[in-house]
């Protein structure tokens, strides 16, 4: 989140200005294959039509678009500066996915305690490059910029600290790289209204985005190509076929939670951003967003089920309630699935993180589905037998 750029009068006519600005910052006018341009065009058109930006919101939105295109240009430049970065394929990555707010982040960060894994740190997603030694990160202006932008983000949306705290040095989601291709669900449900973009995005094939993402993962891990990847992105359930196309030997962990709790939690998280960018329509947007998210993720679950059937033995299920009740038992089952042990020192580090509960360090995330004009049964209905299949409704004590 960057408010330092003066926005154009019209976003839809500012594509050339955007590219010139980013090329000057990065020192390169190479943005890679042009498959990102169609999405960028619709994105900019949508920004003129759909949201009711405040003056601050307009600056922040423009800064966000600049940042995403800068990330793409930085990645392409780094790929050119590091020939051979893609010489080694990514072997048997561990990938966590599932409907958002089903425990993917907590599980991801807990497993990332294991030093045998490598992951996508937030600052390297913002500025893809071969990962330097951790003790040198603070020397990089890209790292310091990510730290500053996250601090600005949480100063503007303090409730988001409890809902989903991020740090420049911690692992983050694959979708933040997929975003670089301007063909992403993140755009469709982000900080401001974007119904025009959402309508377009739902008809698109994200294969080029996944191909670009794969190269970025190779680039970031090129200094340690033998180290196993631990990745996480809820949106992969919507594109599990594309995930297996680039990672044919992936071991996938799919998390599950009652959608009547998970999806309103997602809407609450996303709505924390609304007042940063837009004025008015808070209740209307929240209600519209819950309808959109319930149906989008119900459809994603069905798509995921169909792909899973073609990849027997490559996906393990983790129910949110089981993970919270006994995280170490769930980890034992996962590590058996991915053919790894848990050394004593790693087990102790994991137990320490579980005891400290860092996800709750900034307070509890409070939300109520009733605030968004829907009942729990209405939220579950589009998911069909999914809720019963995984026994996701908590029993009343």
- What CATH number is given to the structural domain containing 366? 3.40.50.300
Whole-angstrom distance, CA of residue 340 vs CA of residue 329 = 15
Question: Is residue 153 pLDDT above 80, yes or no?
Answer: no
- Distance from chain centroid for Cα 352: 26
**Residue 251 in 3-state DSSP?**
strand
Residue 160 has what pLDDT? 47
Backbone angles phi, psi at 352, to 5 degrees: -65, -45
Structure tokens at 267: 């809407």
Domain presence at residue 4: no
Element (H, E) at 97: strand 94-98
Domain presence at residue 178: yes
Domain presence at residue 220: yes
Mean pLDDT on 106-127: 96
How far is residue 386 from each of residues 246, 263, 298, 307, 380, measured CA to CA in Å? 27, 14, 9, 15, 9
Residue 164 has what pLDDT? 43
Give the closest residue to 249 by CA, choosing from 76, 67, 131, 90.
90
Domain presence at residue 128: yes
Question: Is residue 148 pLDDT above 90, yes or no?
Answer: no
Residue 389 has what pLDDT? 97
Whole-angstrom distance, CA of residue 13 vs CA of residue 41 = 9
Whole-angstrom distance, CA of residue 340 vs CA of residue 32 = 37
Question: Is residue 345 pLDDT above 70, yes or no?
Answer: yes
361-377 pLDDT, tens digit each: 555 667 899 999 999 99
249-287 pLDDT, tens digit each: 999 999 999 999 999 999 999 999 999 999 999 999 999
Domain containing residue 82: 15-389
pTM above 0.75, yes or no: yes
20-47 pLDDT, tens digit each: 999 999 999 999 999 999 999 999 999 9
Give the closest residue to 164 by CA, choosing from 267, 74, 298.
267
Give the closest residue to 122 by CA, choosing from 175, 171, 164, 66.
171
Dihedral, CA of residue 29, residue 151, residue 197 and residue 380, to nearest 10 = 140
Domain presence at residue 222: yes
Number of domains in the chain: 1
Mean pLDDT on 174-191: 94
Domain presence at residue 5: no
pLDDT over 90 percentage in the chain: 85
289-344 pLDDT, tens digit each: 999 999 999 999 999 999 999 999 999 999 999 999 999 999 999 999 999 999 99
Question: Is residue 198 pLDDT above 50, yes or no?
Answer: yes
pLDDT band at 12 (very low <50, low <70, confident <90, very high): very high
Using the structure block, give the residue that is written with the tokens 């807990």: 110
Domain presence at residue 44: yes
Domain presence at residue 297: yes
Average pLDDT, the chain: 93
pLDDT band at 357 (very low <50, low <70, confident <90, very high): confident
Asked if 111 and 230 touch (Cβ cutoff 8 Å), the reply is yes
pLDDT over 70 percentage in the chain: 94
């Amino acid at each position: 989140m960057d408010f330092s750029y003066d926005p154009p009068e019209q976003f839809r006519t500012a594509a050339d200005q955007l590219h010139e600005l980013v090329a000057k910052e990065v020192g390169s006018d190479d943005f890679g294959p042009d498959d990102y341009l169609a999405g960028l065009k619709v994105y900019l058109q949508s920004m003129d039509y759909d949201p009711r930006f405040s003056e601050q919101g307009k600056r922040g939105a423009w800064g966000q678009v600049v940042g995403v295109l800068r990330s793409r240009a930085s990645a392409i430049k780094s790929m050119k500066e590091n020939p051979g970065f893609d010489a080694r394929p990514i072997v048997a990555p561990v990938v966590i996915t599932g409907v958002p707010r089903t425990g993917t982040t907590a599980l991801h960060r807990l497993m990332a305690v294991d030093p045998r894994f490598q992951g996508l740190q937030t600052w390297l997603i913002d500025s893809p490059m071969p990962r330097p030694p951790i003790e040198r990160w603070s020397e990089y202006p890209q790292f310091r910029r990510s730290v500053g932008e996250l601090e600005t983000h949480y100063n503007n949306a303090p409730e988001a600290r409890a809902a989903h705290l991020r740090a420049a040095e911690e692992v983050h989601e694959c979708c933040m790289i997929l975003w670089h291709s301007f063909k992403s669900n993140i755009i469709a449900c982000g900080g401001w209204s974007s119904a025009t973009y959402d309508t377009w995005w739902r008809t698109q094939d994200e294969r080029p985005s996944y191909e670009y993402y794969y190269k970025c993962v190779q680039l970031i891990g090129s200094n340690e190509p033998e180290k196993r990847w631990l990745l996480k992105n809820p949106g992969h359930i919507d594109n599990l076929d594309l995930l297996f196309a680039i990672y044919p030997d992936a071991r996938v962990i799919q998390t599950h939670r009652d959608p009547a709790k998970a999806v309103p939690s997602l809407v609450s998280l996303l709505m924390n951003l609304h007042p940063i960018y837009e004025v008015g329509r808070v209740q209307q947007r929240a209600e519209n967003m819950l309808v959109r998210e319930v149906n989008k993720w119900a459809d994603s679950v069905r798509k995921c089920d169909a792909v899973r059937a073609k990849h027997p033995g490559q996906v393990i299920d983790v129910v949110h309630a089981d993970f919270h009740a006994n995280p170490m038992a769930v980890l034992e089952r996962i590590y058996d699935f991915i053919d790894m042990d848990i050394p004593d020192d790693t087990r102790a580090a994991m137990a320490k993180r579980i005891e400290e509960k860092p996800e709750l360090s900034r307070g509890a995330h409070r939300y109520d589905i009733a605030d968004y004009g829907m009942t729990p049964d209405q939220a579950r209905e589009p998911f069909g037998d999914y809720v019963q299949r995984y026994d996701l409704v908590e029993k009343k004590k």
